[in-house]
C-alpha cells in the first residue's frame, strides 16, 4: 500500500509516494509558490491528486510537514511569520478532504525528529532537534510524553530568540544556513554561497573559510546555549542540509557554546542527525 508525503518549505515543496517499507517510489521537488498568485495549498492539492490518479489510490494516507506553527489536531497553519506569506489559517484537512480521509500534518521539524527517532535509538530521555536551513526550527521530545507543542502549538519557535534592535535580527537571521550564505557573500568568498565548498576549504586550512565559519558558528552556539537553559535536554540534534558536514560542523560550534553559559553549567551532547535526506517526508508517514 502506498502513502503520499509532502514537505512544504520556504524555498521548495517536496512530494513523494512511499511504499510500506518507506522506500520512495516517486519523488518531485518544485519551488514553493509565492502564495499570492499561486497558493501553496492549491499546488499541494494538484501534486497529491496527480499521484492518486497515477497510482490508482483510494483514500491513501497523506502526511504533510510544513514550516511554521502547526495545529495538528485541526490540520491548520497557525502562524508562519515572515517565512511564508499569506499562509496563516490555511487548513489542509478541509482543503484535501475529497482526496482522502487519512490526513495528518506536522510542523516540519517535528516530522524530521519523528523520523530520526523511528529509525535510530537514543538513550537520552529529553531530546531537542535544531534544524538549520532557510530558517531555524526546533522540536522537543520526551520519551514518556512525546512531542511537546505548547499551549498554542507555538513551543520551540527558537528562530525568534535573541532579537537585537541594533541590527534588527533574530537568532534565525544570524545563524541559519541562509545567514551563513549571506556572510560568505559579505566576505566575498571565492565560491559564492557554496556551503560544502566552504567546509572543504576550511578543512585544508583556508583562513578565510575558517574565519567565516567561526563567525557564523558563534551565533549558532549562542542559540544552543539558550536551548540548554530553557529545556535542559540530554541530547541536542542538529539537522537540516548542513548536518551532512557532521563532525566538521560540530567542531566549530561545540567549543563556543560554553562562552554563553555560566562556568561549569554543562551542556547536552551535540550530534548531527543521522537521517540527512528527506527526513520530514519519511517522518510524516512513519506515524501513520
**Residues 137, 65 share a domain:** no
Q: pLDDT-derived band of residue 276, with 50, 70 and 90 as boundaries?
A: low
Question: Is 229 in contact with 194 (CB distance < 8 Å)?
Answer: no
**Residues 140, 87 share a domain:** no
- Cell digits for 113? 525528529
pTM for the full model?
Answer: 0.86
* pLDDT score, position 153: 78
pLDDT in tens, 43-85: 999 999 999 999 999 999 999 999 889 999 999 999 887 778 8
> Is residue 283 a part of any domain in this protein?
no
**Residues 58, 181 share a domain:** no
> Is residue 68 a part of any domain in this protein?
yes
**Residues 233, 191 share a domain:** yes
**Residues 151, 23 share a domain:** no
> Is residue 72 a part of any domain in this protein?
yes
pLDDT in tens, 87-138: 999 999 999 999 999 999 999 899 989 889 988 899 999 999 999 988 899 9
- Average of pLDDT values for 30-42? 94
Q: pLDDT-derived band of residue 193, with 50, 70 and 90 as boundaries?
A: very high
The number of distinct structural domains making up the chain is 2
> Is residue 23 a part of any domain in this protein?
yes
**Residues 100, 11 share a domain:** yes
Q: Is the pLDDT of residue 287 over 80?
A: no
Domain range for 27: 3-111
pLDDT in tens, 195-242: 999 999 999 999 999 999 999 999 999 999 999 999 999 999 999 889
Question: Is 80 in contact with 154 (CB distance < 8 Å)?
Answer: no
Q: How far apart are CA 232 and CA 4, in angstroms?
A: 36
The DSSP letter of residue 73 is: T
Q: How far apart are CA 162 and CA 33, in angstroms?
A: 30
> Is residue 116 a part of any domain in this protein?
no
**Residues 217, 147 share a domain:** yes
**Residues 191, 57 share a domain:** no
Amino acid at each position: 500500500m502506498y502513502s503520499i508525503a509532502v514537505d512544504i518549505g520556504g524555498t521548495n515543496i517536496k512530494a513523494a509516494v512511499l511504499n510500506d517499507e518507506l522506500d520512495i517510489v516517486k519523488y518531485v521537488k518544485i519551488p514553493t509558490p509565492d502564495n499570492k498568485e499561486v497558493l501553496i495549498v492549491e499546488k499541494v492539492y494538484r501534486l497529491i491528486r496527480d499521484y492518486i490518479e497515477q497510482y490508482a489510490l483510494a483514500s491513501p494516507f497523506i502526511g504533510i510537514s510544513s514550516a511554521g506553527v502547526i495545529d495538528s489536531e485541526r490540520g491548520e497553519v497557525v502562524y508562519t511569520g515572515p517565512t511564508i506569506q499569506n499562509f496563516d489559517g490555511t487548513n489542509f484537512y478541509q482543503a484535501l478532504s475529497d482526496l482522502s480521509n487519512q490526513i495528518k500534518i506536522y510542523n516540519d521539524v517535528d516530522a524530521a525528529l519523528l523520523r530520526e527517532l523511528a529509525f535510530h535509538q537514543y538513550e537520552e530521555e529529553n531530546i531537542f532537534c535544531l534544524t538549520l536551513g532557510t530558517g531555524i526550527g526546533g522540536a522537543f521530545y520526551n520519551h514518556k510524553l512525546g512531542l511537546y507543542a505548547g499551549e498554542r502549538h507555538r513551543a520551540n519557535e527558537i528562530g525568534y530568540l535573541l532579537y537585537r534592535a541594533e541590527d534588527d535580527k533574530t537568532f534565525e537571521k544570524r545563524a541559519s544556513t541562509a545567514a551563513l550564505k549571506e556572510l560568505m557573500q559579505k566576505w566575498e568568498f571565492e565560491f559564492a554561497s557554496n556551503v560544502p565548498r566552504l567546509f572543504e576549504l576550511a578543512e585544508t586550512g583556508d583562513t578565510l573559510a575558517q574565519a567565516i565559519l567561526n563567525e557564523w558558528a558563534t551565533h549558532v552556539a549562542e542559540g544552543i546555549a539558550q536551548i540548554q537553559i530553557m529545556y535542559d535536554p540530554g541530547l541536542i540534534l542538529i539537522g537540516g542540509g548542513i548536518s551532512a558536514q557532521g563532525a566538521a560542523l560540530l567542531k566549530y560550534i561545540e567549543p563556543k557554546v560554553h562562552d554563553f553559559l555560566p562556568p561549569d553549567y554543562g551542556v547536552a551532547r551535540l550530534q548531527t542527525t543521522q537521517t540527512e535526506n528527506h527526513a520530514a517526508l519519511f517522518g510524516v508517514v512513519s506515524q501513520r
